[in-house]
Amino acid sequence: MSLSSVHLTGLVLAGGRGMRMGGVDKGLQLLHGEALASHVLKRLAPQTGPLLISANRHAEAYAALGAPFSATVVADTLPGFPGPLAGLLAGLRAADTAFVLSAPCDSPGLPADLATRLAHALEAHGADIATVSTIDGLGNSSIHPVFALLRTSLADDLSAFLEAGERKVRAWYARHKTVEVTFTDERAFYNINSLQELADLERP
């Protein structure tokens, strides 16, 4: 089966504490007058079928942002903001499709071909997870693990991993057949970690 958008649920990960932004809800911070999460939704919507937003605060605000995309807000089932894997689990549990395409709420420039390239690699390698790496101008490689295409059938294993107290994304990926897809435009995966970085992006 060749994967298309109808087989994919898009998942915006917006459930973190935003500690490096002083505890603000990162996905609701404005870039060019629009919430960061809205920028990501706009990028994901043409690439997927249904859309989900993983959020643990301000559910009504996220529901309003998601309304134009018919996106559903889901919350972690584990207490205490245990990290992006908990958001992934919520998305895997809520999805009605065989695959989930995840992206963080603070990367407004994600590529328009993210789903296509990850799906191609996942199918070509018979993998369970496809994720992103980038190479900068100096040849240095970076991994961006929360940009990922995952089989929803992994939910039970992820739940057990989290229940055991594990939290590291790459450690969980290592339990499964994972393929990395290299993108040459690292700026597309730039994530905003501080209010100063957000302010810098606002400048023309």
The domain that contains 175 carries what CATH number?
Answer: 3.90.550.10
Helix, strand, coil fractions of the chain, as percent rounded to 5: 40, 25, 35
For 49-78, what is each residue's pLDDT tens digit?
A: 999 999 999 999 999 999 999 999 999 887
Per-residue pLDDT reduced to its tens digit, 85-121? 999 999 999 999 999 999 999 999 999 999 999 999 9
Q: Which residues of 14-162 form beta strands (DSSP E)?
A: 30-31, 34-35, 51-54, 72-74, 99-104, 129-135, 141-151
Instruction: Give me the domain span that covers residue 28.
Output: 5-202
Of residues 187 and 11, more confidence is placed in: 11
Contact 41, 148 (CB under 8 A): no
Q: Which two tokens stand for residue 1?
A: 């089966």
CB 149 within 8 A of CB 122: yes
**Residues 71, 194: Cα–Cα separation, whole Å:** 26
Listed in order, strand segments (DSSP E) in 90-203 are: 99-104, 129-135, 141-151, 178-183
The model carries a pTM of 0.92
Q: Is 200 exposed, middle or buried (0-12, 13-18, 19+ CB in 10 A)?
A: exposed
Beta carbons within 8 Å of 59's beta carbon, 6+ residues apart: 73, 75
CA distance 52 to 92: 10
Residue 38, judged by CB atoms within 10 A of its CB (0-12, 13-18, 19+), counts as buried
What pLDDT is recorded for position 80?
A: 72
**138-185 confidence digits (pLDDT tens):** 778 899 999 999 999 999 999 999 999 999 999 999 999 999 999 998
CA distance 19 to 30: 17
**pLDDT of the residue at 136:** 80
Domain total in the chain: 1
